[in-house]
Every structure is written in C-alpha cells, then in structure tokens.
Amino acid sequence: MMGRALRPQYFFRFGLMSGMAMVFLSSCSILPKAETLEIYQLPSSSIPRSAPANSLPRALRIATPKSSQVTDSMRVLVLRQDNRISAYKGIRWGDPAPILLRDQLAKAFRADGRFSSVSSGNNNLMADLELGGDLTAFQVEYKNGMPAVNIRFYATLVQSGRNRIVATRSFEIIEPVQGKEIPEVIAAFGRATDRFAAEIIDWTLQYGPASQPAAD
C-alpha cells in the first residue's frame, strides 16, 4: 500500500516553522552581553575622633541632600571640557550620590564625636539641629586636560524645634585625581569627601545653635 502523498500545505507549514526557529536561534546569538559592573563605596573616613570631654549634649540630623536627576545617580559621572556629561563604564556607586554623601557625613560627624548623637535620613527623629542642602556636583571634571573630583554643596542649618534657618553656606572641594585608573579616581573621591566633611563639621559647630547653651 502506497503512503499518502504529502500535501503542499504541509511543506509550507514545515518551512515556516523551520524559518522561525532559525530566526529565533540567530536572534539569541546576537543579544548583547550583560555589562559586568564593579560596585564601589567611598573609602573609610579619616576624620579623627574628638576627646569625649568636648562632646556637646546636642543631637544632629543629617538630611538627604536634594539634587538634580543627573547627580542623583549611581553612576560615577564625568564632566568633560565641552560641558558634556558622561560616566565611567563598568562601575557604579553602591548608592545614589546624595545618599552616599549623606552617610559619609554621618560617619564623619560620629567619628568627630562633638555631637551627642547623629542620625541620618529624612525621618522624624528628634534633633536640635538639621543639616541639609543641595548637592549640585559630585563628579570628575577635566580642566586643562587634568581630571579632578569636584563636590559642590549648598548647606543649610535648621533649628529643628523652630523650623528656622540659622545659617547657609556654599562649599566647593576640588581634589586632583592622582592617576588614570579607577581605584585612583575612587581614592580622590574619598579625599575630597574627607576635606568636605572636615569643613562642614567646623562650620556646623561654629554657626549652629548646637554650639550654644540650650534654651529653657
């Protein structure tokens, strides 16, 4: 008994399915590879601890700085001389820059030890003084072909109980990058953040009400 002849429709369906399979396999082979990322935190703060006798019976809260959508990023940003912003490939910060800086400041204030307690974040914890502000730059900038870390911050000190601004100041730190490799870039961010923390700690103690006796 002779087998039934295959209909033309069968060949059409078989060819269509084979073609789709080939397209699927070929598309899988050209999918871009996932980017391998290295995650960095800022180096540990080198702020020296004050003697316990210098501690003030005051509480400080450090709020998360405000920033633009560009700065509020986990990318390690670079501002070129033509005002073009890019980022280093293959690396990220462990947190967006405003949170990264906030947490580093909190560690520095705690290491300094001249406030009885230091909290961080936009919470409702009781504090005598709140440090906030606008982070307008946290990036590497090229000037005359040389890279340097640039941190720009407009700080505000608020007397928490009265919601009154008691002092403001603009800070700018420029720290040269001593080399071209990524670890050298991260180290420069660490030095710049330490310099910034030291300046803002001294300013907070000088101008803030935490340096004055508490009102009855």
Ordered domains of the chain (ranges, CATH): 38-211 (3.40.50.10610)
Please report which confidence band the pLDDT of residue 25 belongs to, taking 50, 70 and 90 as the band edges: very low
Whether residue 139 is predicted with pLDDT greater than 80 in this model: the reply is yes
d(CA 107, CA 111): 6
Reported as type and span, the H/E element at residue 7 is none
Confidence tier at 151 by pLDDT (50, 70, 90): very high
The arithmetic mean of pLDDT across residues 158-184, rounded, is: 91
Structure tokens at 7: 């209909």
Q: Which candidate, 60, 165, 169, 168, places its Cα nearest to that of 121?
A: 60
Per-residue model confidence (pLDDT) at position 40: 95
Report the phi/psi class of residue 70: left, alpha or beta, with left for phi > 0 and alpha for psi in -120 to 50. Answer: alpha
CA separation, residue 109 to residues 66, 98, 122 (Å) = 20, 16, 17
Beta strands at 85-93 and 38-40: parallel, antiparallel or unpaired: parallel
| 3-state SS, residue 38 | strand
Q: Give the DSSP H or E segment for 159.
A: strand 146-159
Q: Please answer whether residues 160 and 132 qualify as being in contact, where contact means their C-beta atoms are separated by less than 8 angstroms.
A: no
* Residue 15 token pair: 């060819």
Specify whether the CB–CB gap between 63 and 102 falls below 8 A.
yes
Query: Is the pLDDT confidence value at 27 over 70?
Result: no
Identify which of 81, 82, 85, 87 has the alpha carbon closest to the alpha carbon of residue 35: 87
> What pLDDT score was predicted for residue 206?
85
Record the pTM: 0.78
